[in-house]
Structure 1
Amino acid sequence: MPSLLRAVSIAFACTALVATTTAQASYAYYVGKDLTEDGSVMVGGTGEEVSSHWLEIVPAKDHPADATITVGVTGDAVIPGELIEIPQVAHTFRYMQMAYTDFEGFPPPLTNGGVNEHQVAVRDIWAPSRQELVDMTPRPQRGLQYSDLARIVMERARTAREGVEIIGDLIAKHGFATYGGNTHLIADPNEGWVVWEFAGGQGLWVAERLGGDDVRVLYPGGIGEIPTDLDDNPDYLASDNFISFAVAQGWFDPAAGKPFNVQHVYGDQSIRDYRDPGIKLMSPAAMEAATRAMAPVSEADLLERVRDPRVVDDDSGYGQLVSLRSDLSDPDLIRVWNAPTGSVAAPFNVWWLGVEDVPMEYAQHRYLTKDSAATFLNPDYQMQEATRFAGRTFKRVMYSACSAPDELLPPVTKMLTAFEQETRGDLSWIERTARTMIASGDREAARALLTHYAGTRALAALDMGDTMADALDAYTRLVSGRRAPQGSAINTFDPTVNCLADGDPDVPEAANVRD
């Protein structure tokens, strides 16, 4: 689209996020089990946050009867709030996630989700509410925010539907704290659910079931038409006041005979179609069609979609994919593909829930971590900080490739996909061996094998990244030429331009999209 229209679309996105600076969001993909190569439910996504990201495997824990957790937002949030304490459950499950540190007024560490030992996967996606709901949100607001809900679902849910019920129960008891509205995509080996939580302090939420033949891409999150009679409907869940509150506000008239479209009634009124919001170079609807066309979808196929340069750029903090399998023999073998930063220029490494530790090169570093520029390093982290950081390495690859994307992105992509294909070639014997060890009673040996392979492979990926960064640096110095900054401001609050998809804002959209 022309630069003015692109600017207007991005401005709508920023307004929808109720933010005064950048539009921070996330992408999510769902592919039903009837459309995948191995019969699994596949969930993929990206986290779009500025701050550093790192991989965590959180062990299962038992908690005392009087244990509590702190949830909510602070007075620094766009909609100011107060932190509250809520009860913790007696036992929380093991889970894997990417953590990050920075969203204004939302205490770190934060998460967009991950997967737990019961194969319940969670993705968080921005989903703005209509302005009237934002305006009526209490100041200060109290309740659980998006990261709290994602984490608690991983800690407590045994199925996707139970995850929805947990969210609904928590909001009813403790409230929802928000920057303007949010969705969660929750899935298990049988189905998925999209849960939309709204601003306003009214406890409004609704959830739609996704089945085996569904493909859903969310950016922003959203739900369209739903029936008005939600009682005992297996495909929908909602707060008790969901329909009645809209009627009371005059936003929906049952007598008019029109369907109840959640986006039109409760969503940001500038986004009439959440499946085609006109923000990225490729709409969620187009991405859904491209994904469905791949059926039966393999992990390699969905990795290709998740790293598509038309939607993955410098905004993307990491990439993730998990296959949820009904025939999985043991939770230690739950497998996650994870890219340490934007996957358009970073490899997906394989991790299992049975992995016991993550190499320090993939753990937390000060690069882009909140408050690093204003604080000194905790001596306890000196050795970890002295290591290379995968997030920074592959950012170098991305920025170098941006200098000449037509020439440099294709070989980068080929190297990344070839590395992942090499990893896939090992998965059968690694998992077969681990299963045999577990069946013989030697879980410790199985976990040691998974930890060794995942860690060794991740370090091999980082070595490749260093080689790629050095080669690209030499290329830009000798061939394409380096361009020094022309301005004086290294940081920007403006939405970034996707250089790797030729996203020049002064060029019409048709010329920006690669085939």
Structure 2
Amino acid sequence: MAQDVMVSMRYKSTSVIVLAIVFLMALVTVPAHACTTVIVGREATANGSVIVGHNEDNAGRRVMTQYVMPRMTYKPGDVIILKNGGTVPHVPVTWSFLWSQTPGDSAADFFVNEWGVMITSNNCAPTKEDDYDTLVARGDITDGGIGYHLRRIVAQRAETAREGLELAIELISTYGYVDDGRSYQIADSREAWFLHVVRGKHYVAQRVPDDTAVVIPNAYIIRQVDLEDTENFRACPDLVEYAIERGWYDPSCGEPFDFAKAYGSVRDDEPQDLKYDPRQWSGQRLLTGKAPDDVPLPFAARPQEKVTVADVMALLRDHYEGTYHDMSADYMISPHWANDPSICMNKTQESFVVELREDTSDLLKAVYWRATGRPCASPYIPWYIGIASVPDGYGWMDPNFGYTLRFEPHASLYDHDPSHAWWVFKDLQSAVDGQYGDVIGQVQREWRAFEERIHLEQPALEQMIHRFEATDEEYAGEFITRYTDSLAREATSIARELTDALLTAELLVEQKTVHLSGSGSISVALLGSEALDVSEISHHDVAIGPAECSPYTWAPAFNGKLVDVNGDGHEDLVMEFSIPALAKLVEIPCYMDIWLRGSTMFCDPIVARMLIEFRP
């Protein structure tokens, strides 16, 4: 017989803790940020390579897929059609490249081509520049301007980072840039550049000194510019004059021209107490071994020791642990929601470290160490530039078809599909996040052992590849493709096992389809078992929602009762959740993973998952 769940004093004490955490999360949540990049010059790395690390951070429900794009040939008269209608003439041959795509996001894709030239970017908006229509009317944006295709064209055509920089500059100067503000990072085995772009035709670029490392969050970091030093700086011809004309810089102030100060702007809703972005501060702290005290922070820092790939991975996993910027209370709250922004954050969709090498074979000149989702809970898997195809489960579309989704992806692309590695690792990070302090150590020990084994195997593996390549280059390529695929399959299998072990409860949901325009409620049964006494759980401590949304916005249970719904002799907690409260969290109607979080009266976390089809 069903009975109402009574909220006793012991439940109230748990609720007080939960409410306090929710209140703290609400206080520390700040406006959206996205992406952190670190570049280490070749004289500052342990093996003489240029190393680029990047966290791709984008809010909302996303999906990423990867491709190997082969070389392509084009006929005279073939053109690239830009988003706003302009055209760029094709070259006869475009290079092959590895491509990580976020369909529908024109500013998130990553490329590294067969020559070992890579390009990624960070949003640096807002700036002081005028809006798109004003610049079109003024002639500073022509033929609709360029945005998405800038990085793709660099990957298709550049054989060196400097050539990629010049290509990007030519495109900006010809068409004008469409977005508010962005920094592109272009690198090869010899050098790396930061290219800061403002909407229109104004830009500045600075080379990374070979013996330093540079960390960029979502802000311009190029300040003083030596326009006569063309080996280390590039800029539009009227960079300073335009700033003077617009009133952004006054030469009589006695201070040197500062690009970031002149062209950049600060979000009105950002806290003003810090004079730096804590991600740049923490990145420099980890590299140099001491907290930087200069304000503004320097463009580059000299690492205290030679930097390894593993060092950059550790930096990209940082949540400010051990510093006053860490608001997670020793992981009592997930750092992804307590520290916003942190280097590894709630919006991190992909993390990678690219090792760009000189004096090695074409198959090995770039290693793309890739982690799906947040790197603190995922492993970095090495993808060599010489692979013929991406690992199983990472790419499920032809790259030419994927290209058609760059601006308008279809809703079914966001369906939860356990055959795709994307959702396997997303499930794991969601299972971890609801009980972060309790389980992250277990997960990281698993991935640490996995990664350390790969690093130990790497020298012998690459010697073997060199031997194969000397006699049969095709076989060497096939071998390295199989090797990469085997590591990816192994990691995916481990991730599935970890997720199954970390889910603390099972759910029974009879309503498999929810209409976003509907009213009423959805009934969810939290199943009791020998291991879980649901009478120790108050529905007041339970909420459901998509993992991509902050848990303090999730739909709370508004009632609950104990009843044995599946006839196994154990009481189950049947709860009701408002459909409108849940629907407002659903960004895209699709087959979605919805997560339940709660706690027992002993503060043991409850984490479970259900799959629901959402329709308009």
TM range (shorter): 0.7 to 0.9
Structure 1 residue 277, shift from structure 2 partner = 6.6
Tell me, yes or no, if structure 1 residue 34 matches structure 2 residue 61.
Answer: no
SS of 2:468 mapped into structure 1: helix
For 2:172, the equivalent position in structure 1 comes to 171
Note the alpha carbon deviations across 1:60-93, whole angstroms, 9 max, x for none.
2222222211223xxxxxxxxx232211122211
Structure with bigger gyration radius: 2
For 1:316, the equivalent position in structure 2 comes to 348
Q: Distance in 2 between matches of 1:60 and 1:254?
A: 49
Q: Distance in 1 between matches of 2:413 and 2:482?
A: 34
Instruction: Please give the residue correspondences for 1:336-415 in structure 2 after superposition, counting only pairs within 5 Å.
Output: 336-364=368-396, 371-373=409-411, 388-415=419-446
Unpaired stretches in structure 1, ≥5 consecutive residues = 12-22, 73-81, 378-384, 495-515
SS of 1:258 mapped into structure 2: coil
Instruction: Please give the residue correspondences for 1:473-492 in structure 2 after superposition, counting only pairs within 5 Å.
Output: 473-474=503-504, 478=531, 483-485=542-544, 486-487=555-556, 488-489=581-582, 492=585
Aligned equivalent of 2:121, options 116, 121, 124 = 124
For 1:150, the equivalent position in structure 2 comes to 151
Structure 1 residue 260, shift from structure 2 partner = 0.9
Deviates more, 1:40-49 or 1:310-319: 310-319
SS of 2:390 mapped into structure 1: coil
Amino acid in the other structure paired with 2:434: S
* Structure 2 CA distance for partners of 1:144 and 1:36, relative to 1, 3 Å: farther
Structure 1 residue 396, shift from structure 2 partner = 1.3
Aligned equivalent of 2:64, options 31, 53, 56 = 53
- Count of equivalent residues: 450
Alpha carbons 1:208, 1:223 under 8 Å: kept:
no
Q: Distance in 2 between matches of 1:232 and 1:344?
A: 40
Instruction: Please give the residue correspondences for 1:128-139 in structure 2 after superposition, counting only pairs within 5 Å.
Output: 128-134=125-131, 136-138=134-136
Alpha carbons 1:196, 1:221 under 8 Å: kept:
no
Alpha carbons 2:33, 2:218 under 8 Å: kept:
no
Structure 1 residue 470, shift from structure 2 partner = 0.2
Alpha carbons 2:146, 2:175 under 8 Å: kept:
no
Structure 1 residue 266, shift from structure 2 partner = 0.3
Alpha carbons 1:225, 1:259 under 8 Å: kept:
no
Q: Distance in 2 between matches of 1:112 and 1:290?
A: 27
Structure 1 residue 361, shift from structure 2 partner = 0.8
For 1:380, the equivalent position in structure 2 comes to none
Q: Distance in 2 between matches of 1:437 and 1:341?
A: 34
For 2:244, the equivalent position in structure 1 comes to 247
Q: Distance in 2 between matches of 1:474 and 1:269?
A: 43
Structure 1 residue 4, shift from structure 2 partner = 8.1
Q: Distance in 2 between matches of 1:4 and 1:386?
A: 32
Normalising by structure 2, we get a TM-score of 0.67
Instruction: Please give the residue correspondences for 1:437-476 in structure 2 after superposition, counting only pairs within 5 Å.
Output: 437-440=468-471, 442-474=472-504
Alpha carbons 2:127, 2:265 under 8 Å: kept:
yes
Aligned equivalent of 1:25, options 24, 34, 42 = 34
For 2:197, the equivalent position in structure 1 comes to 197
For 2:298, the equivalent position in structure 1 comes to none
SS of 2:35 mapped into structure 1: strand
Amino acid in the other structure paired with 1:356: A
Q: Distance in 1 between matches of 2:195 and 2:436?
A: 37
Moved beyond 6 Å, runs of 4+: 1-5, 271-274, 276-279, 374-377, 479-482
Note the alpha carbon deviations across 1:167-194, whole angstroms, 9 max, x for none.
111111122111x111101112222111
SS of 2:344 mapped into structure 1: coil
Instruction: Please give the residue correspondences for 1:99-114 in structure 2 after superposition, counting only pairs within 5 Å.
Output: 99-103=101-105, 106=106, 111-114=108-111
SS of 2:343 mapped into structure 1: coil
Aligned equivalent of 2:309, options 288, 299, 302 = 299
Structure 1 residue 126, shift from structure 2 partner = 0.5
Q: Distance in 1 between matches of 2:190 and 2:262?
A: 30
Tell me, yes or no, if structure 1 residue 237 matches structure 2 residue 330.
Answer: no
Structure 1 residue 233, shift from structure 2 partner = 3.2
Structure 1 residue 424, shift from structure 2 partner = 1.9
Instruction: Please give the residue correspondences for 1:500-515 in structure 2 after superposition, counting only pairs within 5 Å.
Output: none
Alpha carbons 1:70, 1:85 under 8 Å: kept:
yes
Amino acid in the other structure paired with 2:287: T
Alpha carbons 1:133, 1:198 under 8 Å: kept:
no
Amino acid in the other structure paired with 1:306: L
Alpha carbons 1:193, 1:209 under 8 Å: kept:
yes
Note the alpha carbon deviations across 1:194-214, whole angstroms, 9 max, x for none.
101102x3x001101111122
Structure 1 residue 393, shift from structure 2 partner = 1.1
Aligned equivalent of 2:447, options 389, 412, 416 = 416
Instruction: Please give the residue correspondences for 1:237-276 in structure 2 after superposition, counting only pairs within 5 Å.
Output: 237-270=234-267
* Structure 2 CA distance for partners of 1:277 and 1:101, relative to 1, 3 Å: farther
Structure 1 residue 143, shift from structure 2 partner = 4.6
Structure 1 residue 453, shift from structure 2 partner = 0.6
Note the alpha carbon deviations across 1:127-183, whole angstroms, 9 max, x for none.
1142443374437975554431121111111222221111111111122111x1111
Deviates more, 1:311-320 or 1:450-459: 311-320
Q: Distance in 1 between matches of 2:231 and 2:169?
A: 16
**Please, what is the CA RMSD of the aligned residues?**
3.2
Aligned equivalent of 2:87, options 80, 85, 88 = 85
Q: Distance in 1 between matches of 2:275 and 2:66?
A: 31
Deviates more, 1:390-399 or 1:217-226: 217-226
For 1:499, the equivalent position in structure 2 comes to none
Structure 1 residue 394, shift from structure 2 partner = 1.2
Alpha carbons 1:54, 1:340 under 8 Å: kept:
no
For 2:82, the equivalent position in structure 1 comes to 71
Amino acid in the other structure paired with 1:68: V
SS of 2:178 mapped into structure 1: coil
Q: Distance in 1 between matches of 2:103 and 2:264?
A: 28
Amino acid in the other structure paired with 1:268: S
Tell me, yes or no, if structure 1 residue 283 matches structure 2 residue 275.
Answer: no
* Structure 2 CA distance for partners of 1:364 and 1:48, relative to 1, 3 Å: farther
Amino acid in the other structure paired with 1:262: F
Q: Distance in 2 between matches of 1:26 and 1:435?
A: 36
SS of 1:133 mapped into structure 2: coil
Amino acid in the other structure paired with 1:296: K
Amino acid in the other structure paired with 2:482: H
Between the two structures, name the one with larger relative contact order (CA 8 Å, sep ≥ 6). 1
Alpha carbons 1:345, 1:395 under 8 Å: kept:
no
Amino acid in the other structure paired with 1:423: I
Amino acid in the other structure paired with 1:450: I
Deviates more, 1:449-458 or 1:290-299: 290-299
Q: Distance in 2 between matches of 1:273 and 1:41?
A: 35
Structure 1 residue 102, shift from structure 2 partner = 2.3
Q: Distance in 2 between matches of 1:244 and 1:99?
A: 38
Structure 1 residue 408, shift from structure 2 partner = 0.8
* Structure 2 CA distance for partners of 1:5 and 1:195, relative to 1, 3 Å: farther
Structure 1 residue 490, shift from structure 2 partner = 5.5
Greater helix content: 1
Amino acid in the other structure paired with 1:61: M
Amino acid in the other structure paired with 2:64: H
Q: Distance in 1 between matches of 2:89 and 2:271?
A: 38
SS of 1:47 mapped into structure 2: strand
Amino acid in the other structure paired with 2:73: D
Alpha carbons 2:362, 2:386 under 8 Å: kept:
no
Q: Share of identical aligned residues, percent?
A: 23
Q: Distance in 2 between matches of 1:198 and 1:429?
A: 46
Structure 1 residue 291, shift from structure 2 partner = 2.3
Alpha carbons 2:465, 2:480 under 8 Å: kept:
yes
